[in-house]
Structure formats: structure tokens, C-alpha cells
Amino acid sequence: MLADSPIFRLRRGNAPLLISIPHGGTRVPEWLRPRLLPEAANLPDTDWCLDQLYDFAHELDATLIAANYTRYVVDLNRPPDNASLYPGQRTTGLCPVETFDGHPLYARDDAPHSQEIANRIAEYWQPYHHALGDELERLSAAHDNVVLWDAHSIRSQLPRLFDGELPSLNIGTADHAACAPEIAASVAERAEQSGYSHVFNGRFKGGYITRNYGNPAAGIHAIQMEIAQRAYMRESSNPAYYDETLAAPLRKLLRAMLEGLIGRCALPDARD
């Protein structure tokens, strides 16, 4: 069942799985487009092609919600008070003013002021989170345990934000606070067997969505999957592009992980 809005795309399913894609949007509002500097116009920090990577979601009867607008409008994976999720580390804010590489998004003195930020929260941030919360409530009413899978991707190397090259799979459960060990074990087992480099709760432990909605005691288990884009894109090309040869085995792995999570949701001790 579709329930789209201008802010997001929503496909409802009945399995105990909700996939969120908050950073895949590429729409730029007309009021914002002329304010973005050339370095930002191509939206370099987009989580590219995740709709393609998770195109099997409907076959699992999963619910999927995906943002339509670029994160440069407002970052749906940041808290509304803009508190830092990684104190002491460089990151981007609720309404970013620079790219991941540190290039400014706006000309000097044109960054959003406090009232504009409040308006962006009301118009773009809140509708996404209202829908996300409503869908979790709907699924929780039908299942004892539900998984929220927050789907992301990022360039493999971003020296300003982290050293070296990211592992292919960066899995976060907010240091185990957002997901019961019995549920997360399903993902860990498949990651270990996959041959992809991976890490749990490394540089990316999970953003606001994972930390805010994950509540194992209430049967809601949140996991953030941050994929290094070289795992499914030709990053060395300019511009980078989605490569089906790379993506096919990754998509197969992601499907197996999500099928495993659906199965684990049936465990009677998953809330313990």
C-alpha cells in the first residue's frame, strides 16, 4: 500500500520490518536552489541509489519510508535541537552549512537563521518523523518485536570526517542500546560470513533515528546500516555510478540479513 506525501515515499507492508532511507532524497526546493554554491549543486553527500539497493523490500512485505528532499534542506537523522551525536568528532548539523568535505553550501551571510531552521523542521523534519513513528506503532500493534533498519551509504574516504577507508559495512546499534543482542546477532552472523569488511558500533554507531526509536524493552529494535559506496558503486569514476555487478552480491546479502531479522523477531526472548 502506498501513502506518499511531498516529503517522503511510503510503502506499507505487514512484516515486522521498517526500512528508513532518510538521506537518499535529491529534490531541492525552488527557494533553496539559487542559494546553493556550485560545490553543493550536485548534492555530493547524498546516499545514492539506495532505492535500487533495497528494491526487494516489497517482496519481504516490509514497510519502506524514504525522504524525497536532499539532506541539505534538513537532516532527518539529527535531533531537532541539533545536539551533537558524536561529541568531539566532526559531523554535520541539523541544517548543514557545509559539505562533508568542508565546502560551504551558502554564500557568506546566507546560511539559514533560527526562524528558517524552525520552519524547515516543521515542514520537512516533523512529517517524516510523524510517519516513521506512526508506522512503528502500527507494526508494533501487530508484532511483539519489530526491526527498524535505518539505511545509509557514504563515500568510502572522507578525510575530514574519519581516517583512512571505511569498512564496507558499518553497523550501528548505539553501542547495543537500540537493539537486543538476539536480534543483532542475525546481522552479525551474516556479516562475518559475507567476506565484506565490517564493523559494529565503530565510527557510525547510529544517528538520531536509531537512538531515538530503538527501544528493545518495548520490542522495537533499531539498526543503522552505513554502507561504503565502493561496495555497490564505481567511486573512482567521475561521476561515480551504480554498478549492478558490484551491487548484486551486496543486495543478496542485505536481503538475507533482513530475512534473518524478520525471523528473529519471532524469538520469544527477544525483549529479555
**Domain spans of the chain, in order of start:** 8-264
**pLDDT at residue 4 in the model:** 65
Q: Please check the confidence at residue 270 and state whether its pLDDT lies above 70.
A: no
Cα separation values, 23 from 109, 202, 250, Å: 26, 20, 19
At residue 5, the pLDDT reads: 81
Instruction: Identify the H or E element spanning 261.
Output: helix 244-264
Q: Residue 85: pLDDT band by 50, 70, 90 thresholds?
A: confident
Per-residue burial over 151-180, b if 16 or more Cβ lie within 10 Å, else e, is: bbbbbbebeebbeeebbbbbbbbbeeebbb
Share the mean pLDDT of the chain.
Answer: 94
pTM, entire model: 0.95
On whether the CB atoms of residues 269 and 206 are closer than 8 A, the answer is: no
Per-residue pLDDT tens over the stretch 88-130: 777 788 999 999 999 999 998 899 999 999 999 999 999 999 9
Please choose, from the candidates 148, 267, 141, the residue with its C-alpha nearest in 3D space to the C-alpha of residue 207: 148
Alpha-carbon distance values, 16 to 8, 99, 125, 143 (Å) = 20, 35, 24, 6
User: In this predicted model, what pLDDT tens digit does every residue of 31-79 receive, in sequence order?
Assistant: 999 999 998 999 999 999 999 999 999 999 999 999 999 999 999 999 9
Instruction: Find residue 66's DSSP bridge partners.
Output: 9, 21
Residues 160/90, Cβ–Cβ less than 8 Å: yes
Amino acid identity of residue 168, one-letter, is S
Taking phi first (over 0 means left), then psi (-120 to 50 degrees means alpha), and beta for anything else, what does residue 211 get? alpha
Would you state the cell numbers that stand for residue 64, as one nine-digit string?
519502506
Determine the residue type at 222. Answer: A
Give the three cell numbers for residue 83: 545536539
pLDDT of residue 236: 84
Average pLDDT over every residue of 127-156: 97
Helix runs in 143-180, H state only: none
Interatomic CA distance for residues 138 and 161, integer angstroms:
37
Tell me what pLDDT residue 1 has: 55
Query: What's domain 8-264's superfamily in CATH?
Result: Zn-dependent exopeptidases (3.40.630.40)
Those residues with Cβ within 8 angstroms of residue 245's Cβ, 6 or more apart along the chain or in another chain: none
Span 173-193, pLDDT tens digits? 999 999 999 999 999 999 999
Phi, psi of 180 (to 5 degrees): -65, 140
**Helices and strands of the chain, counted as H and E runs:** 7, 9
Q: Which residues on adjacent β-strands are paired with residue 223?
A: 149
For the chain, state the CA radius of gyration.
Answer: 18
